[in-house]
A and B are shown apart, each in its own frame.
Chain A
Amino acid sequence: MPPITHTPSQPAIFQELSEDCPVISIDDLSFAYPDGHVALKNLNLTIEQGEKVALVGPNGAGKSTLMLHLNGILKGEGELRVGGLPLKKENLPLIRSLVGLVFQNPDDQLFSPTVFEDVAFGPLHMGLPESEVLARVDEALAQVDMSGFGERLSHHLSTGQKKRIAIATVLSMAPQLLVLDEPSAGLDPRARRGLINLMRDLPVTMLVSTHDLRMADELFPRMVIMDEGQIVADGETSALLKDEALLEKHGLEKP
């Protein structure tokens, strides 16, 4: 019988990554879904600390699949290192505390009755002491400008508010890399603007998948274009956005 769960069963691990170690390094990653659909083909990608990277490409390009690999939810063929750690079963708990994944649909991300419980879920499951969890929840809610929403019910919030809370649920885990799946989809202009400001101000390494090329231009110095499971372009956002032929070839439109 395992120990009763409200006492921390594992020591909390705090590990600052060494300066020279890339947050993500992917070498020759391939993945096929059980139904045979090949979603990633021989993919290589490195993300250094402090970078803010936009991941763009048409629907079905493999962006979400790639994101689900970054904290080991999906496991493909090839090598993937997070903060220098190889993606292995014994590293998973630590890797999941390093990579904060925010899903596209906030209704999937927010599964607890109240906002507080949702934001506390991550730190609580990392085995942090109660006072630390409380402090982190407060801080995360403040970071997304949603202080005072702790006791509200997640499913009664607006989409924009839900997106903010969804981001807070991983910020409270103090991740080294923040991975957001189409954060601006379905938001009205004001909520989108608020989110852009929020992402600009967050001092975290970021990989953000999006169809919003104007936002990419504004926020992310580096852009990675994916199509059919491969990275077809990787470079300076402003330069890539000028290449109309490239954009059109991969189902994108110049903003």
Chain B
Amino acid sequence: MHANVFDRYHDGSSLLHHLAPTVKVVVAVLFILSNALLPDGDWLSFGISWGVILLLNLLAQLGLGFTFKRSFIVLPFTMAAITALFSLPGETLAVWDFGPWHLVATDLGLVRFLSIVVRSWLSVQIAILLVATTQFPDLIHALEHLRLPRMLITVIAFLYRYLFVLTDEVMRLLRARQARSAVLPGQRGGGGILWRAQTAGNMVGQLFVRSYERSDRIFNAMLSRGYQGHIRTFNRHEVIARDWLIMALAIFLFSILQLFAHL
């Protein structure tokens, strides 16, 4: 039983699937960097960047809307940038008073906020595409090739592996609770809010203990089979001429985009 909560690798044989993972990681990071460097409110450049994403979607044979459909997950997190609305001087759009806080939303603030939302939304799409076209062990390898600190890579590798262990455990706990959440006819079921909160709290505790012990057992199983801190795979990792060519092309495109956006 595995929860398919997370979209991950989608098997295929497109150019994007066959590109060296290292190159894919570099291009994805460059794309995110390029997004971050685009000026606020440069909607045309943002549009071009999105065009690139759509093109890559097609190239990966995943369908035009593949990353778009999955990208909304990032929207709640962009709310962290909401303060941008109130922190730039400019023409006043609206004023809110929350007790001691006097918040003034400005037009420049709004443009910056929306730009941040669009940047995050574009960046997460390239990340989704990267994960969808690259198998996870290959991604880990790419990070090793790029000389990321070992500790960091190991943390990422295990975080990913145990994410599924964790969601499986959550499903099991929820199912067990559901199975015993009976209500007799004519009775109000469910108990008081405090009791419910306590149950939820206990479940979180259980979740921690269970997944901690389970991950321990899985790690033991890995050690037993010779795991020594590196994840190995069969897949190809040499960067061939085609990979270099595509990387050069990507760098060229991003530079042109930046050049026009900042002129």
Q: Could you tell me if A73 and B223 are in contact, using CB atoms closer than 8 angstroms?
A: yes
Assuming the contacts A2-B150, A111-B161, asked whether A96 and B224 have C-beta atoms less than 8 A apart, the reply is yes
CB nearest to B8 among chain A residues: A113
Q: What residues of B have a CB within 8 angstroms of the CB of A73 in the complex?
A: 220, 223-224
Q: What residues of B have a CB within 8 angstroms of the CB of A120 in the complex?
A: 234
Q: Of A4, A103, A122, A125, which contacts B145 at CB under 8 A?
A: A4
Q: Could you tell me if B144 and A4 are in contact, using CB atoms closer than 8 angstroms?
A: yes
Flag A1-42 by CB within 8 Å of B: 1 or 0 each.
110111001000000000000000000000000000000000
Q: Could you tell me if A5 and B232 are in contact, using CB atoms closer than 8 angstroms?
A: yes
Q: A173 on the interface (CB 8 Å rule)?
A: yes
Q: Could you tell me if A105 and B217 are in contact, using CB atoms closer than 8 angstroms?
A: yes
Q: Of B147, B225, B232, which contacts A96 at CB under 8 A?
A: B225
Residues 103-158 of A contacting B (Cβ, < 8 Å): 103, 105, 108-109, 111, 120-122, 124-126, 130, 133, 155
Q: Could you tell me if B232 and A71 are in contact, using CB atoms closer than 8 angstroms?
A: no
Q: Could you tell me if B147 and A103 are in contact, using CB atoms closer than 8 angstroms?
A: no
Q: Of A101, A124, A155, which contacts B224 at CB under 8 A?
A: A101
Q: Smallest distance from the beta carbon of A105 to chain B beta carbons, Å?
A: 7
Q: B226 on the interface (CB 8 Å rule)?
A: yes
Q: B233 on the interface (CB 8 Å rule)?
A: yes
A interface size (C-beta, 8 A): 32
Q: Could you tell me if A111 and B227 are in contact, using CB atoms closer than 8 angstroms?
A: no
Number of A-B contacts (CB under 8 A): 77
Q: Smallest distance from the beta carbon of A141 to chain B beta carbons, Å?
A: 16
Assuming the contacts A108-B214, A130-B234, asked whether A1 and B224 have C-beta atoms less than 8 A apart, the reply is no
CB nearest to B237 among chain A residues: A6
Q: Of B1, B144, B214, B226, which contacts A125 at CB under 8 A?
A: B226
Q: Smallest distance from the beta carbon of B226 to chain A beta carbons, Å?
A: 4
Q: What residues of A have a CB within 8 angstroms of the CB of B237 in the complex?
A: 4, 6
Docked complex Cα distance between A126 and B150 (Å): 20
Q: Could you tell me if A5 and B231 are in contact, using CB atoms closer than 8 angstroms?
A: yes
Q: What residues of A have a CB within 8 angstroms of the CB of B69 in the complex?
A: none
Q: Could you tell me if A93 and B226 are in contact, using CB atoms closer than 8 angstroms?
A: yes
Q: Could you tell me if A121 and B220 are in contact, using CB atoms closer than 8 angstroms?
A: no
Q: A167 on the interface (CB 8 Å rule)?
A: no
Most chain A CB neighbours (cut-off 10 Å) among B161, B221, B232: B221
**Beyond known contacts A2-B230, A109-B221: 11 more, CB 8 A cutoff:** A4-B144, A6-B141, A71-B224, A103-B220, A103-B221, A103-B224, A111-B222, A121-B225, A121-B227, A124-B232, A125-B232
A residues whose Cβ falls under 8 Å from a Cβ of B = 1-2, 4-6, 9, 68, 71, 73, 93, 96-97, 99-101, 103, 105, 108-109, 111, 120-122, 124-126, 130, 133, 155, 169-170, 173
Sorted from nearest, which 6 A-B pairs have the closest CB atoms? A125-B226, A5-B230, A122-B225, A108-B217, A101-B224, A124-B232
